[in-house]
Structure 1
C-alpha cells in the first residue's frame, strides 16, 4: 500500500536536514565523501496507542531503505528494526523522544552497521520530523557520520479522541552516511 502524500513542509524539513549534513560536518580542508544515501519508508506501532491522554507506550519501528546509492560498495537497500519502552508518558500532543539511541542497519550485502545517535523531534501541528545525527560505531562504514531523518504522516487527530487512538504511523525516511 503506498504511503499517503506527506505535507510539503515535512518533506522539505526532512530533505534539508539530510542534505545539510555534508555541509555541517565537512572540515574546512576536506570535503565529505558520501558513502551511501538511502530513501525508504517506515512504520511505527504504538501500544496501547496514542491518544490525547499521556500514557506510557511500547514502540516498535521497522524501516525499509528501498533505494540506496553508494560509492565503492554494493549497497542498494537495507532494513532496520527497533523496539523500546517509553520512559515518560507520551500522547498525540507530546511525542516520545528516544535520545541517545542506536539502531542496527542490515544491508543487502549481508553486512550490518550500528548507528549510535542523538535525536531531535520537531512537531508542527500534526506533523512530526525526527532527526537522528551520530556515528556508525561498528560494522560496515564504522567511523563514518550518519543522519537519519524520518518525516511522519500527519496525525489523524480524530483518532486521538478515544482509545485505542493512533496504533501505527507511516513515514518517509532518508539516511545519509558520510566520511571526511
Structure 2
C-alpha cells in the first residue's frame, strides 16, 4: 500500500531508469541481441496481469433518485492508494512493476438509483510505475439482498497489460441507497473495488 502523495514520484524514477537502460541496450547490444530482447519483452508483457483491491469514492450532482436525469459524476478511484475514502487496498502483479493505481474521472451521464452506470465506456488507470492501462468496457448492475454490484468487463487495448481480459467490480451496501427516496437523493457512494486483469 502507498499513501497519496508518494505515487507521483515513482514514475520519474522509473522513467529515468528506463531511459538509462534503453541507452545502454542500444549502444552495447548487437542488432540480433536487441531484436531478441524486444521479442522477450513483448512476450513478458503479453503474460503480465494484476489483481487489485481498493475503493472508488463517487459523488453525484444532483443526487441520485429514482428519476433518470443528467448527473455530474466525479470518481476518485484508488487501487492500493490510501486516502480519506480509501482505507485499505492491495495489488498483486505478475510480470509487472505496477503495485498501485489511480483513476480520476469526471463525466455527465444520465443516471438514476436504478441505473447507476452507463452501459459502456472507456476506462484508464494510471499505475505507479509510470504506465497506464486503457480498456473499453461494458457494464452490468445487479442488486442483491444486501449489496449492489456494478461489473465492468473488457479487454486492454493500450498500455500496461495490453491484450489482457479485465473484470472490475464495484460493490456498495444497499443501505447506502436509502437516500434514493429523499428529495436530495444519494450524493455519494464509496464502492469497494476489485480489479483483475489476466493475460489471454
TM-score of the alignment, normalized to the shorter chain, above 0.5: yes
Q: Distance in 2 between matches of 1:104 and 1:41?
A: 16
With the length of structure 1 as denominator, give the TM-score of the two structures: 0.73
The 8 Å contact of residues 151 and 173 in structure 1, kept in 2 or not, is answered as: yes
**1:84 and 2:84 are equivalent in the alignment:** no
Of 75, 82, 91, the residue aligned with 2:98 is 75
The 8 Å contact of residues 98 and 119 in structure 1, kept in 2 or not, is answered as: yes
Q: Distance in 2 between matches of 1:142 and 1:34?
A: 8
Partner of residue 49, structure 1: 63
Say what the alpha-carbon RMSD is for the aligned residues: 2.1
> Are residues 55 and 141 of structure 1, via their aligned partners in 2, closer, same or farther at CA, if it must alter by over 3 Å?
same
Of 122, 130, 133, the residue aligned with 2:150 is 130
Give 3-state SS (helix, strand or coil) of 2:161's partner.
Answer: coil
Aligned length: 146
Single out whichever of 50-59 and 115-124 deviates more from structure 2.
50-59
Partner of residue 35, structure 1: 49
The 8 Å contact of residues 120 and 131 in structure 1, kept in 2 or not, is answered as: yes
With the length of structure 2 as denominator, give the TM-score of the two structures: 0.66
Unaligned runs of 5+ in 2: 1-46, 81-89
> Are residues 54 and 144 of structure 1, via their aligned partners in 2, closer, same or farther at CA, if it must alter by over 3 Å?
closer
Q: Which has the higher contact order (CA 8 A, sep 6+)?
A: 1
The 8 Å contact of residues 48 and 95 in structure 2, kept in 1 or not, is answered as: no
> Are residues 126 and 57 of structure 1, via their aligned partners in 2, closer, same or farther at CA, if it must alter by over 3 Å?
farther
Partner of residue 120, structure 1: 140
Name which one, 1 or 2, has greater alpha-carbon Rg: 2
1:139 to partner: Cα distance: 0.8
1:125 to partner: Cα distance: 5.3
1:153 to partner: Cα distance: 2.6
Q: Distance in 1 between matches of 2:169 and 2:152?
A: 6
Q: Distance in 1 between matches of 2:163 and 2:142?
A: 27
Q: Distance in 2 between matches of 1:157 and 1:104?
A: 27
Q: Distance in 2 between matches of 1:142 and 1:91?
A: 33
1:51 to partner: Cα distance: 2.4
Give 3-state SS (helix, strand or coil) of 2:180's partner.
Answer: helix
Unaligned runs of 5+ in 1: 1-32
Partner of residue 159, structure 2: 139
> Are residues 49 and 140 of structure 1, via their aligned partners in 2, closer, same or farther at CA, if it must alter by over 3 Å?
same
Q: Distance in 2 between matches of 1:156 and 1:72?
A: 38
